[in-house]
């Protein structure tokens, strides 16, 4: 057992998903590998990405990032809504935890799950897909920032939603479109101008593009621009989440 | 010395509903205090405000001299709450639940105290069982245990005996009495008024978010409709009219007549004899808190 309120909450949140790791880590890894299998076979001949990169290789970083993001979001949002609906949220509201500790513990545990899933996808593809690691620091930066952003968004969604179907709506109508329409499966340059424009207002596009730059040294936009946008998103969402928590929005009636 | 609990002019609105309408209350250290009131009176709301689970709309609350908003860390460390709702985290076992709760309060190596609580609450055999696999009463006991892991000086129990079997109820009260003897301040809400009467030194009665009675249990019992003479009248007997104002209740052939001093009984019996009333059975009852409660709620 760790010591300190913050460390305990972090540990509890990690233990919570780890205890059902088959569903929370193994299953999403498998799903991503299936995507890879199907898309690389079905589309390899049709989609042109970068000249020097095979479609399958191109696909892998996108899938890693997508699964990382979705699982970071899923962890905070599902943990919070479950605790709210069952009422056991009071166990973490009664102790002397500050809202900052609360935020940090939930977000870090969700990042951990996202990173574990991402790592799992990477390991699963290692033996049959050739990857470069042109700029490892970019890889790590975008993985951490992306995970933190979606984890914070999950905190917001989990606190905002009163019922599971509201959360499912958030997931299906916001998170899924944002992650799918972000250039995971294609380079946005292959899209018509209109959809390129749409992609450019999707922050997830920059997470994936920047992350992919770390592998191939190639990207649709400059990684610095992506970093600036993703970094701003992180600051914005964290601030919003912290404000919600500080005011006790929906948690402390 | 600052009181264990201080509640000053606390109001709480839920939209148009005024759940608390200006509550003032002080509970001294070491007291065993009862918070009574009908459903919806605001008991849980007041406790939640004290615990920081809801924000009071106005007024201030303190635990052991610490403001529950400005100095929330100290206030929460001083308070253990057994919630009314039967909540649990299905991911964990009983011991994990208690270890985690200790950790949230920054306590490490709490195993000795946890073992002691488990033993007192008869949960030792269930220590490594998942929370899901416990009966309702056992889950309630774990909630009691959770409230105690950080040895809070002030313990608030919101209807802890709802759905708990007789044996455990008595065991629980024994344990809570011991905690009280050891110096813990206890605040209890319950709808079992005999429990409150036998346990609490002082009682506040809440109605529609306001304190309508606040006194020692002894004074409350003394102030209200005194004693009752319970009679079962013989077949065909009718109560003389002059005794009618004394009737507290009448069910079937049994009547409860109030009196304030014992020397009134003689005169009452004389009246009955003069009217030719046959008495099959007679019993003198002490005033009980239930009667006081009913009176207070009716007149408030
Ligand atoms: N979250 C909430 N939103 C709206 N109204 C609420 C909320 N919580 C409580 N209330 C209302 O506030 C009033 C007081 O409720 P509270 O739970 O404090 O009563 P109580 O005295 O604990 O009752 P009981 O004996 O049934 O537990 C009730 O009218 C209740 O409907
Ligand atoms: Mg209540």
Rounded to whole angstroms, what are the CA distances from A112 to A76, A134, B190?
11, 24, 44
Q: Categorize the per-residue pLDDT at B274 as very low, low, confident or very high, splitting at 50, 70 and 90.
A: confident
The residue among B17, B73, B100, B149 with the most chain A CBs within 10 A of its CB, best to mutate, is: B100
Q: Is the pLDDT of residue B183 over 80?
A: yes
Same domain for B230 and B215: no
Same domain for B231 and B204: no
Q: Is B17 in the pocket of ligand 1 (CB under 6 A)?
A: yes
Distance between Cα B82 and ligand 2 center (Å): 11
Domain boundary among the residues B182, B204, B222 is at B222
Dihedral angle over CA of B88, B93, B95, B97, nearest 10? -30
Q: Would you call B54 and A253 a contact, using CB atoms and an 8 Å cutoff? A: yes
Question: Which residue would you say has higher pLDDT here, B169 or A233?
Answer: A233
Q: Are B229 and B265 in contact (CB under 8 A)?
A: yes
Share of chain B above pLDDT 70, in %: 99
B76 contact residues in A (CB cutoff 8 A): 94-96
Question: Radius of gyration of chain A from Cα atoms?
Answer: 18
A248 contact residues in B (CB cutoff 8 A): 55
Same domain for B98 and B59: yes
B27-49 average pLDDT score: 97
pLDDT at B245: 86
pLDDT at A80: 97
Same domain for B171 and B71: yes
Q: Give the CATH number for residue B250.
A: 3.30.70
Mean pLDDT of chain A: 92
Q: What's the distance, CA B71 to chain centroid?
A: 27
Q: Is the pLDDT of residue A130 over 90?
A: no
Q: Is the pLDDT of residue A22 over 70?
A: yes
Q: Are B79 and B157 in contact (CB under 8 A)?
A: no
Same domain for B143 and B79: yes
Q: Note the ligand closest to the C-alpha atom of B48.
A: 1
Same domain for B126 and B249: no
B103 contact residues in A (CB cutoff 8 A): 1-5, 7-9, 11-12
pLDDT at B280: 87
Mean pLDDT of chain B: 91
Q: Is the pLDDT of residue A237 over 90?
A: yes
Atom of ligand 1 at shortest range from CA of B191: 25
Q: Which residues, numbered 210 to 249 in chain A, qualify as contacts with chain B under a Cβ-Cβ cut-off of 8 Å? A: 248
pLDDT at A2: 64
pLDDT at B169: 87
Same domain for B102 and B86: yes
- B114: which 2 tokens? 């946890």
**Tally of structural domains, chain B:** 2
Q: Is B42 in the pocket of ligand 1 (CB under 6 A)?
A: yes
pLDDT at B119: 94
- Cβ within 8 Å of residue B70, ≥6 positions away: none
Q: Is B45 in the pocket of ligand 1 (CB under 6 A)?
A: yes
Chain B contact for A252 (CB, 8 A cutoff): yes
Q: Is the pLDDT of residue B76 over 90?
A: yes
Chain A contact for B55 (CB, 8 A cutoff): yes
A96-103 average pLDDT score: 96
Domain boundary among the residues B195, B222, B249 is at B222
B92-109 average pLDDT score: 95
For residue range B217-257, what is the model confidence (pLDDT) as tens digits?
Answer: 999 988 665 678 888 888 878 888 888 888 877 777 788 88
Same domain for B243 and B191: no
Go through B129-140 and write b for each residue having 16 or more CB atoms within 10 A of its CB, e for each that does not: ebbeebeebbbb
**Smallest Cα distance from B184 to chain A, Å:** 18
For residue range B138-161, what is the model confidence (pLDDT) as tens digits?
Answer: 999 999 999 999 999 999 999 998
How many beta-carbon contacts under 8 Å exist across A and B?
Answer: 85
Q: Are A77 and A157 in contact (CB under 8 A)?
A: yes
pLDDT at B132: 96
B157-178 average pLDDT score: 88
Q: Give the CATH number for residue B163.
A: 3.40.50.300
DSSP codes, B49-104: HHHTSS--SEEEEEETTEETTTTHHHHHHTEEEE-SS----TTSBHHHHHHHHHHH
Q: Across the strands, what pairs with B18?
A: B13
Q: Is the pLDDT of residue B206 over 90?
A: yes
Q: Categorize the per-residue pLDDT at A128 as very low, low, confident or very high, splitting at 50, 70 and 90.
A: confident
For residue range A27-65, what is the model confidence (pLDDT) as tens digits?
Answer: 999 999 999 888 887 776 676 677 778 888 899 999 999
Q: Would you call A86 and B83 a contact, using CB atoms and an 8 Å cutoff? A: no
Q: Are A6 and A108 in contact (CB under 8 A)?
A: no
B99 contact residues in A (CB cutoff 8 A): 1
Same domain for B231 and B97: no
Domain boundary among the residues B222, B257, B278 is at B222
Q: Is the pLDDT of residue A11 over 90?
A: yes
Q: In a mutational test of the pocket of ligand 1, which residue from B35, B44, B205 has the highest number of ligand atoms less than 8 Å from its CB?
A: B44
Give the span between the Cα atoms of B185 and B31, in whole angstroms.
5
Tell me the residue range of the domain where B56 lies: 5-222
Share of chain B above pLDDT 90, in %: 66
A175-192 average pLDDT score: 84
Among A5, A86, A252, the residue with its CB nearest the CB of B55 is: A252
Same domain for B96 and B75: yes
Selection from A212, A13, A225 nearest residue A102 by Cα: A13
DSSP at B110: -
Give the span between the Cα atoms of A217 and A244, in whole angstroms.
38
**Smallest Cα distance from A54 to chain B, Å:** 43
B7-22 average pLDDT score: 96
Residue with tokens 């009574």: B36
Whole-model pTM over 0.80 = yes
B108-131 average pLDDT score: 94
Residue A26: which H helix or E strand, with range?
A: none
Same domain for B107 and B55: yes
Same domain for B257 and B191: no
pLDDT at B224: 63
Question: Which residue would you say has higher pLDDT here, A237 or A46?
Answer: A237
């Amino acid at each position: 057992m760790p010591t300190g309120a913050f460390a305990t909450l972090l540990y509890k949140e990690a233990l919570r998903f780890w205890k059902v790791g088959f569903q929370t880590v193994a299953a999403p890894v498998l799903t991503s590998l299936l995507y890879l299998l199907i898309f690389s076979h079905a589309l390899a001949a049709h989609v042109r990405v970068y000249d020097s990169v095979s479609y399958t290789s191109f696909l892998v970083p996108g899938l890693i990032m997508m699964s990382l993001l979705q699982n970071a979001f899923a962890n905070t949002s599902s943990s919070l809504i479950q605790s709210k609906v069952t009422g056991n949220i009071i166990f973490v509201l009664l102790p002397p935890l500050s809202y900052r500790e609360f935020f940090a513990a939930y977000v870090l545990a969700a990042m951990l799950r996202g990173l574990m899933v991402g790592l799992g996808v990477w390991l699963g593809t290692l033996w049959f897909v050739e990857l470069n690691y042109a700029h490892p620091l970019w890889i790590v930066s975008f993985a951490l920032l992306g995970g933190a952003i979606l984890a914070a968004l999950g905190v917001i969604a989990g606190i905002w939603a009163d019922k599971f179907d509201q959360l499912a709506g958030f997931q299906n109508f916001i998170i899924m479109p944002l992650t799918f329409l972000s250039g995971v499966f294609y380079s946005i340059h292959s899209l018509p101008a209109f959809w390129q424009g749409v992609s450019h207002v999707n922050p997830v596009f920059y997470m994936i593009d920047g992350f992919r730059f770390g592998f191939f040294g190639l990207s649709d936009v400059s990684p610095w621009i992506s970093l600036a946008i993703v970094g701003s998103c992180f600051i914005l969402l964290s601030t919003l989440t912290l404000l919600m928590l500080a005011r006790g929005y929906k948690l402390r009636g | 010395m600052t009181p264990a609990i201080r509640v000053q002019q606390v109001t709480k609105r839920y939209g148009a509903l005024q759940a608390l309408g200006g509550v003032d209350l002080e509970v001294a250290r070491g007291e065993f205090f009862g918070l009574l009131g009908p459903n919806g009176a605001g008991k849980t709301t007041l406790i939640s405000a004290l615990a920081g689970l809801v924000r009071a709309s106005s007024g201030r609350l303190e635990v052991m001299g610490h403001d529950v908003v400005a100095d929330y860390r100290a206030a929460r460390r001083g308070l253990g709450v057994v919630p009314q709702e039967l909540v649990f985290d299905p991911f964990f076992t009983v011991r994990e639940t208690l270890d985690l709760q200790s950790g949230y309060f920054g306590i490490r190596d709490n195993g000795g105290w946890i073992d002691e609580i488990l033993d007192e609450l008869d949960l030792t055999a269930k220590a490594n069982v998942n929370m899901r696999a416990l009966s309702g009463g056992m889950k309630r006991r774990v909630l009691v245990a959770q409230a105690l892991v950080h040895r809070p000086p002030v313990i608030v129990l919101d209807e802890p005996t709802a759905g708990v079997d007789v044996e455990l109820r008595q065991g629980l009260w024994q344990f809570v009495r011991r905690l009280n003897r050891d110096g813990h301040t206890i605040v209890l809400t319950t709808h079992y008024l005999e429990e409150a009467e036998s346990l609490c030194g002082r009682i506040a009665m809440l109605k529609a978010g306001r304190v309508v009675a606040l006194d020692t249990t002894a004074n409350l019992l003394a102030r209200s409709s005194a004693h009752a003479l319970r009679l079962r009248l013989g077949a065909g007997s009718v109560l003389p009219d002059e005794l009618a104002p004394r009737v507290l209740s009448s069910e079937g052939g049994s009547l409860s007549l109030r009196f304030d001093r014992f020397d009134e009984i003689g005169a009452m019996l004389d009246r009955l004899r003069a009217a030719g009333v046959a008495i099959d059975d007679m019993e003198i009852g002490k005033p009980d808190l239930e009667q006081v409660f009913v009176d207070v709620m009716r007149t408030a």
